[in-house]
Amino acid sequence: MYFIDVQGTLISDIDKSPIAGSIAFIEYLNAQNIPYMIVTNNTKKPSKVFFEYLNSIGFDISFDKYLDPLMLLETKVAKNAVAAYGAPEFLATLESMGYFLDFVKPQDCSYCY
């Protein structure tokens, strides 16, 4: 099983375009039925949006072969009263996912799943 990072491996950190040979590499893995998982630490875009972007620029990746932190977040953290810190785009993404940001009285993790 290959675990393949996105930024700096499949796409350029500078302009988010495919790195030379990266699309062909994924095509090869698909054609040979070689198991892989695309992993990223992207948290600025909702999971589905970033996944769809990767496919829109030429990658043929199925959603069951894609994993990012926001997907895991939804399985572990309830959406009420979280204190999240990061770039404004990250905070906006959390809010668009239904998380309530509360920097005064965030809930403790006793409510975590």
Q: How far apart are CA 9 and CA 6, in angstroms?
A: 5
Question: 35 and 68: one domain?
Answer: yes
Mean pLDDT of 87-94: 90
Instruction: Mark whether 47 and 8 lie in a shared domain.
Output: yes
What DSSP string runs through 73-97?
HHHHS-SSSB---S-HHHHHHHHHT
Note down the domain range covering 95. Answer: 78-113
Q: Which residues pair with 4 in a beta bridge?
A: 38
Q: In this prediction, what percent of the chain has a pLDDT beyond 70?
A: 95
With bands split at pLDDT 50, 70 and 90, how would you rate the model's confidence at 109? low
Q: Do 95 and 107 share a domain, yes or no? A: yes
Q: What is the pLDDT of residue 86?
A: 86
User: Is the same domain home to 50 and 98?
Assistant: no
Between the CA atoms of 105, 92, 15 and 33, what dihedral angle is there, to the nearest 10 degrees?
90
Domain shared by 48 and 32, yes or no: yes
pLDDT at 110 over 60: no
- Give per-residue pLDDT as tens, 44-75: 888 999 999 999 999 999 999 999 988 888 88
Q: For the domain that residue 55 is a member of, what is the CATH number?
A: 3.40.50.1000
Mean pLDDT of the chain: 89
Claim to verify: residue 60 and residue 101 sit in the same structural domain: no
Residues 59 and 94 in one domain: no
State phi, psi for 37 to the nearest 5 degrees.
-135, 130
Q: Domain count for the chain, please give it.
A: 2
| Whether residues 39 and 93 fall in one domain | no
